[in-house]
Amino acid sequence: LTRVLTGITTSGTPHLGNYVGAIRPAVAASHAPGVESFYFLADYHALIKVQDPARVQRSTLEIAATWLACGLEPDKVWFYRQSDIPETNELTWLLTCVAGKGILNRAHAYKAAVDKNRIDGEDDDAGITAGLFMYPVLMAADILLFNANQVPVGRDQIQHIEMARDFGQRFNHLYGEHFALPEAAIEENVATLPGLDGRKMSKSYDNTIPLFAPRETLKKLIYSIVTDSRAPGETKDADNSNVFQLYQAFASKQETEAMRRAFADGIAWGEAKQALFERIDAEIAPQREKYEALIARPADIEAVLRDGAKRLRERYAVPTLQALRTAVGLRDLS
C-alpha cells in the first residue's frame, strides 16, 4: 500500500500555483487504487511565517473549502488540520533529539535567510526564529507519523524529504525499525507557476492570483501580469513569458502549441491575457461555485476537519506515539 501525504500551509489564500502544483494532481491521485492518501492543513507550519491569528484561521477555512470544492472526498481519504493532531508535536521533539544540527544548518530556507542577512549587512541569524531553523524536523514528523512513503513535492522540497529520511533512519538505528523511509515523488510535468511580478507565485510574496477570486477580480489580476513592452505584431518569446507559462498550465497540448504559434506571430498582450483568463475561468468556474457555497458554512467545514482528525488519531497517531514513547524510554500513557 502506498501512502501519499500532501500539505498546504495555512498562511494565506490558496492561489493558482497551489492548485496546479498540489491540489489538482493530488485530487486526481486520490482516486488511484492501492493508495492511502493524507491531506493536511499545515497550521503549525504557518506560524513560522504568519503571526496574525485571524489570518491563520481564515486561511485554514479557505484551504479546507478549496480541497473540498476541488473534489476531495473526506470519507475516502485522511483530511485533517495539522494542529488537531498534537502527536505531531511530540514526535517533532523525539526527532529533534536525533536530528543533526549540521544538517539543519544546510536547509535551503534557513540558508536563504542567512544569505539575505549577509547581503543586508546584518548578523547571520538576525530576525531568524528557531521555528524557521527547525521547520524540516516538523515536516519530518508530519511524514513519519503516518509512515507516508510518497510525498509529492516540487524540486525545492527534495532536500526536506531527504532530511526526513535521515532523521527516520537515525531513529530506526537507535530504537528499532519504527519508520518507513519516505521518497519524494517529483511531478516532472507540474510547472512552478510565476506570480504577478514574475517571481514564484507564493502566499508569502503577495504576488498571487487567488484560485477562487470572483470572475471580475480574476480578470483584473490576469491583466495586471507584468509583461515586456513588445507591441502587437512583434514576435514574443513564449518560453520567457509569464502569461504563456500560466496558459500552458491550464491548456491542452494542442491549445498550448496554438498559443506558442500566436506568440511567434506577435499576438497582442491584451489578446493573450484574454485567452488566458477564459481558459482558467473555464476550468475553475464549477469549483468556484462549490467553494462559495462551502465557505458560507464554516461550521460544516469545521465538523469535517474535526471528524477527520479524531479518526486519524485513534487509528494511527495515538498508538504510534505510544509505541515510540516506550521505544525511547518514556512512560506509556495508555
Residue 121 is labelled as binding a ligand? no
Q: Is 134 annotated as a binding residue?
A: no
Query: Of 90, 88, 3, nearest to 39 (Cα)?
Result: 3
Q: Which is nearer to ligand ATP, 115 or 156 (CB)?
A: 156
10 assigned ligand-binding residue: yes
**Least Cβ distance, residue 35 to ligand ATP (angstroms):** 17
Q: Least CB distance from residue 18 to ligand ATP, whole Å? A: 4
- 154 marked among binding-site residues: yes
CB of 50 to ligand ATP, least distance (A): 8
Residue 204 labelled as part of a binding site: yes
- 202 has binding-site annotation: yes
Start-end of H helices in 145-208: 158-175
Residue 314 carries which DSSP code? I
Measure the CA–CA gap between 27 and 37, rounded to whole angstroms: 10
How large is the C-alpha radius of gyration of the chain?
A: 21
Q: Which residue number places its CB atom closest to ligand ATP?
A: 21
11 in a labelled binding site: yes
- For the bound state, the minimum distance from the C-beta of residue 211 to ligand ATP, rounded and expressed in Å, comes to 11
Nearest approach in angstroms of CB 53 to ligand ATP is 16
Q: Judged by CB, which is closer to ligand ATP: 88, or 320?
A: 88
Taking each helix axis from N to C end, the angle separating 269-295 and 215-223, rounded to the nearest 10 degrees, works out to: 150
Residue 69 and residue 294 in contact, taking contact as beta carbons nearer than 8 Å: yes
142 is in an annotated binding site: yes
H helix intervals, 87-207: 87-96, 101-105, 108-119, 130-144, 158-175
In DSSP notation, 240-251 reads: G-HHHHHHHHHS
Please give the backbone phi and psi of residue 111, each rounded to the nearest 5 degrees, phi first: -60, -40
Dist CA 257 CA 325 (whole Å)? 57
Q: Which of 138, 262 has the CB closer to ligand ATP?
A: 138
For residues 310 and 318, give the distance between their C-alpha atoms in angstroms, rounded to a whole number.
Answer: 10
197 a known binding residue? no
Q: Pick between residue 10 and residue 320 the one whose CB is nearest to ligand ATP.
A: 10
Tell me the backbone φ, ψ of residue 64, rounded to 5 degrees: -60, -45
| Residue ranges binding ligand ATP (CB under 6 A) | 8-9, 11, 17-18, 20-22, 49, 153-154, 192-193, 200-204
- Inter-residue contact 227 to 198 (CB < 8 Å): no
Nearer to ligand ATP, 66 or 202 (CB): 202
Residue with smaller CB distance to ligand ATP, 22 or 294: 22
Minimum CB distance to ligand ATP, residue 59 (Å): 9
91, three cell numbers: 514526535
Q: Which is nearer to ligand ATP, 98 or 161 (CB)?
A: 161
Residue 317 CB, nearest approach to ligand ATP (Å): 22
Binding-site positions for ATP: 9-11, 17-18, 154-156, 193, 200-204
Binding-site positions: 9-11, 17-18, 142, 154-156, 193, 200-204
Binding-site positions for L-tryptophan: 142
